[in-house]
A and B are shown apart, each in its own frame.
Chain A
Amino acid sequence: MTGFVTLEMRRSLRDVRYLVIAVALPIGLYLLFAGLFGSHGQRAQGLPQSVELMVAMIAYGAMWAVFSATGPRIAHERAIGWTRQLRVTPLTPASALAGKLGTALAVALPAMLLVCLTAVLSHHVALSAAQWLTLLTVMWAGVLPLALLGLAIGYLVTEEIAFPLLMALYFAFGSLGGLWMPLSAMPRAMQDIGRALPSNGLAELGWRIVGGQASVSTAVLVLAAWLLGSALAAWLAYRRRARMATS
């Protein structure tokens, strides 16, 4: 199991799609937006631009990291028969599944940390050690629903569909979820949709933590709902494939 997860992580970290979209893109967007809007301007959350954007881009990068390590990869491995081959080794299907999930969460971490590093170096973002720790831990845990969603899609759809579908979700969750621009700048109806998305829930958790606000109930509820829904979908999709056995 350790050998399996280690190799999964190593190949994920070498994956060009991961490096470009989950690591380079959020850093680039951070530098672009934070540079454009200035370090001191404030947005709706009452946080400095540089901090608010940092949280948004942590969420954005982590989202693609877990998507890229699950959906397209699982669909591809089903198509080429690697999943089947793995099933005739002592690695149990449940361990393989847990390994995928663990890998997805593990590769989210470098993407998150590098955005923080960029923010500190380029815009001198300064948080207390406790704030950094809480921010990263809570947001890391908050990625779980997205990882499960990627898993479900990997087992549900074919290889050709998995990548574009997750790419579309990534951009939709990013833009509608208020990671590119604040929800408050959008029409009322769009705001309601945005608040129901896991990407917004994830960023909202981060904004509340760095803003020192205690109440995070809505964001937690949204993420919990996505967690349950995604876990259920992933479990059903996985069971269906296991029963078909051929893929």
Chain B
Amino acid sequence: MIYCSQAISLTYRLGLLDPDQGQVQVYGRPAAHAVAAGLVGAMLQDAGLMPGVRVGELLAMVRSLYPRPLPLDDLVGVADLGSLLRRRVDRLSGGQAQRVRFAAAIAGDPQLLVLDEPTAAMDVQARRNFWQQIRAFAGRGRTVLFATHYLHEADDAADRVVVIAAGRKIADGSPSAIKASFGDRQVRFTVDPGSPVSLAALAGVRAVEQRGTRVTLHSSDPDATVTSLVGSGLQWSDLEVGGLDLEASFLQLLGGQS
């Protein structure tokens, strides 16, 4: 299972901060106890690695902190560290350091892996590899909870998405369920500037976005919208009809809030 949530709640979840009200429970116990019992592993944003040691030494030390660590060979395989074990931690590239952080986070074979903006500093290839590694880890029957600003990442990787805005939960479900809950589709086309027809008046249109000559209509009934577009006398071209992506759904959710 892979969940996606929002960043700030993660620090509470891990017991790094105490909530003002209420309490945070993980696996039926306070968050800090779950961490102490080795049930939780985490990759925090901008978290560093112990300086002045080799990658192999660091991972051996982190494994020794957990009651049931993953075998070192598994760790090296999952995080793709084969050639790095003898490298000094201070001499790693950004992507390599992130792999070592990932290995440290799963060293204890935690039930729950928490990732806070895990791919923020990665290039496209590294990001793709990383999500493959995460899926491999989740495939062992583990839960992964991550926070991200890249909504397409949540769309691609998460089984369940929780959207929190201004401190309130505004959506909770699978990415496809969230997208489907709007029932909206997008109708895109290019139009001559200065057209007299009001695009918002076309059948089924709920929202209009226009960038230059490119128009995106959010429609509850794309068939009706296209029919009325054809009958409108507008000069249009490059018609596309498609679903909303998660980012557009998210923006609609936020729009509905205000």
Query: Number of contacts between A and B (CB, 8 Å)?
Result: 79
What residues on A are CB-neighbors of B61 within 8 Å? 3-4, 6-7
Q: Are B62 and A84 touching (Cβ within 8 A)?
A: no
A28: Cβ under 8 A from any B Cβ: no
Q: Mark A1-36, 1 if CB is under 8 A from B, else 0.
A: 111101100110011000000000000000000000
B47: Cβ under 8 A from any A Cβ: yes
Q: Are B65 and A4 touching (Cβ within 8 A)?
A: yes
Selected from A14, A76, A91, the residue in CB contact (under 8 A) with B65 is: A91
Known: A82-B48, A88-B44, A90-B66. A10 touches B53 (CB 8 A): yes
Q: Are B53 and A81 touching (Cβ within 8 A)?
A: no
B162: Cβ under 8 A from any A Cβ: no
A228: Cβ under 8 A from any B Cβ: no
Give residues 63-105 of A contacting B (CB, 8 Å): 76-77, 80-82, 84-85, 87-92
Bound-state CA distance A61–B87 (Å) is 31
Q: Are A82 and B64 touching (Cβ within 8 A)?
A: no
B11: Cβ under 8 A from any A Cβ: yes
Known: A89-B108, A90-B35. A80 touches B65 (CB 8 A): no
What residues on A are CB-neighbors of B104 within 8 Å? 85
A129: Cβ under 8 A from any B Cβ: no
A141: Cβ under 8 A from any B Cβ: no
What residues on B are CB-neighbors of A11 within 8 Å? 50-53
Give residues 116-141 of B contacting A (CB, 8 Å): none
What residues on A are CB-neighbors of B36 within 8 Å? 90, 92
**A172, chain B: closest CB distance, angstroms:** 27
Known: A3-B64, A245-B11. A14 touches B47 (CB 8 A): no
Bound-state CA distance A14–B52 (Å) is 8
What residues on A are CB-neighbors of B60 within 8 Å? 3, 7
Q: How many residues of B contact A (CB 8 A)?
A: 34
Q: Are B64 and A88 touching (Cβ within 8 A)?
A: no
What residues on B are CB-neighbors of A80 within 8 Å? 48-49, 51
**A14, chain B: closest CB distance, angstroms:** 7
Selected from B14, B16, B38, B53, the residue in CB contact (under 8 A) with A90 is: B38
Q: Are A84 and B65 touching (Cβ within 8 A)?
A: no
Bound-state CA distance A53–B204 (Å) is 93
What residues on B are CB-neighbors of A1 within 8 Å? 65
Selected from A10, A77, A87, A89, the residue in CB contact (under 8 A) with B16 is: A87
Bound-state CA distance A196–B47 (Å) is 41
Bound-state CA distance A91–B52 (Å) is 20
Selected from A14, A77, A84, the residue in CB contact (under 8 A) with B50 is: A77
What residues on A are CB-neighbors of B42 within 8 Å? 85, 88
**B109, chain A: closest CB distance, angstroms:** 12
**A99, chain B: closest CB distance, angstroms:** 11
Bound-state CA distance A84–B42 (Å) is 10
What residues on B are CB-neighbors of A84 within 8 Å? 16, 44, 47
Give residues 27-46 of B contacting A (CB, 8 Å): 35-38, 40-42, 44, 46
In this complex, the member of B49, B63, B65 whose beta carbon has the largest number of chain A beta carbons within 10 angstroms is B65
What residues on A are CB-neighbors of B62 within 8 Å? 89
Bound-state CA distance A14–B14 (Å) is 33
Chain B residue at minimum C-beta to C-beta distance from A85: B47
**A69, chain B: closest CB distance, angstroms:** 11
Q: Mark B1-39, 1 if CB is under 8 A from A, else 0.
A: 000000000010010110000000000000000011110
**5 nearest A-B residue pairs (beta carbon):** A3-B64, A80-B48, A85-B47, A81-B48, A88-B42
A residues engaging B (CB < 8 A)? 1-4, 6-7, 10-11, 14-15, 76-77, 80-82, 84-85, 87-92, 245
26 A–B pairs (Cβ distance < 8 Å), ordered by A = A1-B65, A3-B60, A3-B65, A4-B64, A4-B65, A7-B57, A7-B60, A10-B53, A15-B52, A76-B51, A77-B50, A77-B51, A80-B48, A81-B46, A82-B49, A85-B44, A85-B49, A85-B101, A87-B35, A88-B14, A88-B16, A88-B35, A89-B108, A90-B36, A245-B11, A245-B17
Given contacts A11-B52, A89-B108, 8 further A-B contacts (CB under 8 A): A1-B65, A3-B61, A7-B53, A10-B57, A85-B48, A85-B104, A88-B41, A90-B38
